[in-house]
């Protein structure tokens, strides 16, 4: 992350996500570093009991773009996202789930839509299933 104004804040709500933290943080940071944007990752631990917060705290010492905020109890994903949005310092704010079920590659198109004048951008994943009679 470069110094100066923050272009993009990404909020990542977490609840008992210890198995995803290391790989997902690495993927997010590699992707975001390649964009050359000035960014921050805001992790909101929503009362995890599996060591999620401790692992994020440890990794945030290595990755200065990452900040951790902890809820003492689980209050829900929506509240965790809202809390992160309120703490964000970026000119543009978005959120993504830590399991990266939606790939980080979609962050940039959303960012450029906002930069292009849109007030809000939403994205969703589409599952394609094939039905057959076997």
Q: Both tokens of residue 42?
A: 């805001």
The verdict on residue 54 lying in a domain is: yes
The verdict on residue 86 lying in a domain is: yes
Q: What is the CATH number of the domain that holds 62?
A: 3.90.550.10
The verdict on residue 129 lying in a domain is: no
**Positive or negative CA dihedral for 6, 9, 15, 21?**
negative
Residue-range definition of the domain harbouring residue 73: 8-91+98-115
Q: Is the pLDDT of residue 132 over 90?
A: no
Give how many domains the chain has, as a whole number: 1
pLDDT tens digits, one per residue of 23-63: 999 999 999 999 999 999 999 999 999 999 999 999 999 99
Work out the average pLDDT over 109-134: 87
pLDDT attached to residue 133: 76
Q: Residue 47: which of 19, 79, 23 has the closest Cα?
A: 79
Work out the average pLDDT over 85-113: 94
Helix crossing, 107-115 with 18-35: angle to 10°?
A: 50
The verdict on residue 2 lying in a domain is: no
pLDDT-based confidence at residue 2 (cuts at 50, 70, 90)? very low
The verdict on residue 132 lying in a domain is: no
The verdict on residue 33 lying in a domain is: yes
The verdict on residue 131 lying in a domain is: no
Count CB-CB contacts under 10 A for residue 12: 26
The verdict on residue 120 lying in a domain is: no
Q: Is the pLDDT of residue 125 over 80?
A: no
Contacts of 102 (CB under 8 A, 6+ apart): 96, 123, 124, 125
Q: Is the pLDDT of residue 129 over 50?
A: yes
């Amino acid at each position: 992350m470069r110094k100066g104004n923050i272009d993009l804040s990404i909020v990542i709500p977490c609840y008992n996500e210890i198995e995803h933290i290391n790989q997902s943080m690495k993927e997010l940071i590699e992707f975001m570093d390649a964009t050359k944007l000035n960014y921050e990752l805001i992790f909101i631990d929503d009362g995890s009991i599996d060591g999620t917060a401790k692992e994020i705290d440890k990794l945030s010492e290595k990755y200065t773009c990452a900040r951790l905020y902890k809820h003492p109890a689980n209050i829900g994903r929506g509240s965790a996202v809202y809390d992160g949005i309120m703490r964000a310092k970026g000119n543009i704010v978005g959120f993504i789930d830590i399991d990266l079920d939606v790939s980080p590659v979609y962050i940039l198109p959303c960012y450029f839509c906002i930069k292009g004048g849109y007030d809000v951008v939403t994205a969703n994943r589409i599952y394609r299933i094939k039905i057959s009679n076997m």
